Amino acid sequence: MDGDVLGAVIGRPASTVRRQGAFVEGYRRVYRQGASYPILVPMPDGRIEGVLASGLRPADTARLVAFEGSDYDLVEVPVRAARRGPTRAMIFMPRSEVMASLEEWTLTNWIRRHKREYLRRIRYARDLLAYVEG
């Protein structure tokens, strides 16, 4: 959802990706247990707001999959996009062994409490990988 995180992961500005607000029904967003980032958990009457990104390059998708890691699977779900209406999108869903906290996750709270350190870690890992590969 955060453009700076998306840009850091895919290695180019998020402004180069088409993004729009969207909603997913049947889930709520909570912290992953012991982490600062969110996971989705089923909730029959839940509804979460997110961002629908389109026009991602194959390399972008590969970087996102690597970033999310083996604890998550890409799953196709119905979404309601702000400008396109109903559509389908791929989202990262936690595998069953990933534990959820009970605390609701919000982007505003995450930005205030965790964003700076999170971006630092992403950039460090990216730079380290580039150094090892270079």
Domains and CATH numbers, the chain: 3-133 (3.10.490.10)
pLDDT band at 134 (very low <50, low <70, confident <90, very high): low
pTM of the model as a whole: 0.86
Task: Quickly tell me which residue has 């909570």 as its tokens.
Answer: 30
Taking CA atoms, 118 is separated from 42, 84, 125, in Å, by 26, 31, 11
- Contacts of 108 by beta carbon, 8 Å cutoff, 6+ apart: none
Is 53 within 8 Å of 18 (Cβ atoms)? Answer: yes
Helical ranges in 11-114 per DSSP H: 58-68, 107-113
- pLDDT per position as a tens digit, 77-118: 999 998 888 999 999 999 999 999 999 999 999 999 999 999
